[in-house]
Amino acid sequence: MIHLLFTGGTISMRRDEAAGGNVPVLDGEALVRLVPGLPAVSPFRIEDWGRYPACHLGPSDLWRLRERVREIQTGPDRPKGIVITHGTDTIEETAYLLARTLDPEIAVTITGAMRTSSDADWDGPRNLTDAARVAADQGSNGRGAMVVFAGKVLAGLEAAKTHATFPDAFEAPQAEPIGRVEGNQVLWNGDRGASANVVRPPGLAARVALVSMVIGDQGELLDCARPNHDGVVIVAFGSGNLPPGALPAIRRWLAEKKPVVLATRCLYDKVTPVYAFPGGGATLVKEGVIPAGPRTPAQARMELAIAISAGVTYGKS
């Protein structure tokens, strides 16, 4: 038995001419009726958690979703796996949160669609069927949260949306897919490997800013964000460099004992603090700034929010 948890997103949408675009319409039952191959994969049960565009989900909503998944995982009628349909805009954050804070034993596969059921090339049925197949597969045990999209299986800590409109919109910029779905088979790449320790914050209350550097930045946005946030992720250039004019603002964050994490605006690779000029990554790290590690800016922000909420160091594993 697998548990289908429907939260909305493009996979649940149709085009509404009066509204002038796509809007959420399909609930779980309606969506499943449009995916005739699903019953052959596994017995399932349906839960309509919501019908939200992903951009409408705030931190309290993500935590409520996380708590619902935890209840399903630990309840008396635990399923073999859990499938979540989700809007693609923020799958990256939700997958990271679930992968980082939940027991990995019962797999959670997250999927969605880049096309609606109004489109001839709707990708929803394939993605939902693939996600169910992965959730029901014996090899998913212990892998925790994963993103299943366009035949790829991506670890929840690594999956990122890298294209705004293509059906094959997700990849793992700092890694490789951990598996793929071919026909009726789930093919895994290697063993499970080591996974990060689970962090269990009591909630997701920490307020974390995400500030991108621009040419000639003087730190104005950093100063504006500081009074109302508990930490900040800075999106720097290249391997972690930024304009020296922003340094005083960064030092003010550090003086208030608020963590400052340094990410890169580059999609591939990560911050490597090797430049020691003013504003260089090595100089920043020496002053107490924390490299983001193998995380996109959005993942780094989620990691810092989890860490602050749990009272642990960023990236503790």
- What residues are annotated to the active site? 10
Residue 226 identity? R
Name residues whose C-beta falls within 8 Å of residue 186's C-beta, 6 or more positions apart in sequence.
Answer: 133, 134, 137, 139, 140, 153, 179, 180
All residues at 6 or more sequence positions from 311 whose CB lies less than 8 Å from its CB, including other chains: 201
For residue 249, give the nearest of 228, 285, 275, 224 by alpha carbon: 224
Contact 285, 180 (CB under 8 A): no
CA nearest to 236, candidates 280, 274, 276: 280
Residue type, 103: D
Q: Calculate the alpha carbon distances from 7 to 12, 44, 117, 148, 203 in Å.
A: 9, 16, 16, 16, 20
Phi-psi group of 151: left, alpha or beta (phi > 0 → left; psi -120 to 50 → alpha; rest → beta): left
**Buried b / exposed e across 81-117, counting CB within 10 Å, b at 16+?**
bbbbbbbbbbbbbbbbbbbbbbebebbbbbbbbbbbb
CB neighbourhood size of 175 (10 A) = 13
Cβ(32)–Cβ(12) below 8 Å: no
Which secondary structure element, helix H or strand E, spans residue 98, and what is its range?
A: helix 91-101
CA distance 295 to 211: 15
Phi/psi region, residue 225 (left: phi>0; alpha: psi -120 to 50; beta: rest), is alpha
